[in-house]
Amino acid sequence: MKRKTSSKRSKKRSLSANVIAPVLVGILAFVLWDVFVRVTGMPPYLLPGPLLVLQTLIADWNDLFSALLVTVQITVVAFVTAAVSGLLISVLFTQSQWIERSFYPYAVILQTTPIVAIAPLIIIWLKNNTFAALVVCAWIVAFFPIVSNTTLGLNSVDRNLLNLFQLYKASRWQTLLYLRLPAALPYFLGGLRISGGLALIGAVVAEFVAGTGGARSGIAYSILISSYNLQIPRMFAALFLTTGLGVTIFVGLSVLSEWLLRHWHESAIKEDW
């Protein structure tokens, strides 16, 4: 019990250091940026100062935030679809060597083809439903890390445990459910963290390519339009929102992963017992 409290305390201390250090760097960067803009007299259409960006962000908050929500929707739908389909595909791969051998190369091809190059095609094919087209683009970028990580995890099961399951005549289904899937969880979560960020990138790229305006346009479209109109402060504000979204996704998935693995995985162990 005593040990537990001391570990909590040291965790708190390291947490605050983990927060304070980057925040200081951030503040320093903003100050330098502001000083640079003031000293060089840089015009706002080339590089706006941080205060101007903040003002723009507040002034255009309603527009930008509703655009951000559209991007959030695309990202979340694509990400969830990627997680579910990625998991199913990996399970399928580990059930048969032949399926893995036959389809894995195509998963790689889908991953290595630049999304910018195929996005126009997808948007043309799904021209009646831009939202779906954007989701498909983001999904293509996001699903591969989940497939490759989870497949690795499902295959790297403790050999002795596999023997034990064999000894007790476990069915294929039992081995999957009680051994392979739990053993793959840390790998799956690692895949999720990578693909969360990628889903956002995929959505942004697809929005750029689609270039659709109207009520349901996302934050990337706002960045694009602002740059056309030389509204550089607004462009910066939208950029910050996008980055913020990316960081939120990453932090959220990290917290989820740490919580799910709190009992057992080395990566989640803060202190040696």
Contact positions vs other proteins (CB under 8 A): 158, 160-161, 163-170, 174, 178-179, 182-183, 185, 263-265, 269, 273
Task: Rank residues 182 and 211 by Cβ distance to other proteins and give the closer one.
Answer: 182
Q: What are phi and psi for residue 26, nearest 5 degrees?
A: -60, -50
**Measured from the CB atom, is 91 or 183 closer to other proteins?**
183
Cβ pair 221, 207 in contact under 8 A: yes
The answer to whether 226 and 232 have CB atoms below 8 angstroms apart is: yes
In one-letter notation, the amino acid at residue 253 is L
Provide, rounded to whole angstroms, the least separation between the CB of residue 100 and other proteins: 22
**Residue (2 or 263) nearer to other proteins, CB:** 263
Query: Considering beta carbons, is residue 169 or 228 the nearer one to other proteins?
Result: 169
Tell the smallest beta-carbon distance from residue 101 to other proteins (Å): 21
Please tell me what DSSP assigns to residue 22.
Answer: H
Strands (E), the chain: none
* Min CB(45)–other proteins separation in Å: 56
- Supply the minimum distance, in Å, between the C-beta of residue 168 and other proteins: 4
Q: What angle do the packed helices 181-210 and 115-125 form, to 10 degrees?
A: 70
CB 155 within 8 A of CB 94: yes
